[in-house]
Amino acid sequence: MAVVIERIPLVNRWVSEQWRIVAVVPDDREASEAAAVERIDAEGGTRWIVGGHAIELNRTEAEGYFLNISAPEPKAFVMWRNREAGDDAADGIAIAAQLVSVSYNEAGRLLDGGEQVEAVPLAQAIRAWMEPFVAEHYKPEPKRKSRRNQLYERDRDDGPAPKSG
């Protein structure tokens, strides 16, 4: 997979630019060039296509994948971090994508842990790749019948409450 990162120049006294994750797309490049960074300059800003990211599907995350592809707008989730001052490579990108996921549950855990997570629209090709996996591995929990006052009925079955004192 490749992550598309965008830098938008701002006219602002405190901040000169905004960085954001724009998309996650399948990377059709050869393995030797998959980690390469491709720069695209446009009038609204600059975009970089950063390859070398993998999405691995795991059976334990099947519910999170199901929740994602059954949502009205499925998403890809990218956990990213700011690069350190001495970590700036020649590519000029100030943020680095650390992890790409398609699980709602995993994205929630990352956010709960204080990580920066950007949600971007899920590419149709990625969704089509996920669907057979979800169909095979996602098994919804069976619904349990719930009776009203079920907690209180257990107390009635034990007989009268013992007298105190």
Enumerate the domain spans of the chain: 2-140
- Give residue 39's pLDDT: 81
Please answer whether residues 62 and 138 qualify as being in contact, where contact means their C-beta atoms are separated by less than 8 angstroms: yes
Crossing angle (nearest 10°) for helices 62-69 and 124-137:
130
Tell me, what's the pLDDT at 33? 61
Q: Take residue 147 and report the two structure tokens written for it.
A: 């009776």
**pTM confidence score:** 0.78
What is the model's pLDDT at position 67? Answer: 94
> Which pLDDT score is estimated for 34?
58
Say if strands 17-25 and 2-9 run parallel, antiparallel, or are unpaired. Answer: antiparallel
Give the pair of three-digit tokens for residue 62: 């099947």
SS3 for 12-63 is CCCCCEEEEEEEEECCCCCHHHCCCEEEEEECCEEEEEECCCCCCCCHHHHH
Query: Could you list the mean pLDDT of each consecutive 10-residue stretch along the chain, which spans 165 residues?
Result: 90 89 85 69 84 91 95 96 69 87 95 95 95 92 70 57 61
Q: How far is 99 from 138, CA to CA, in rounded Å?
A: 23
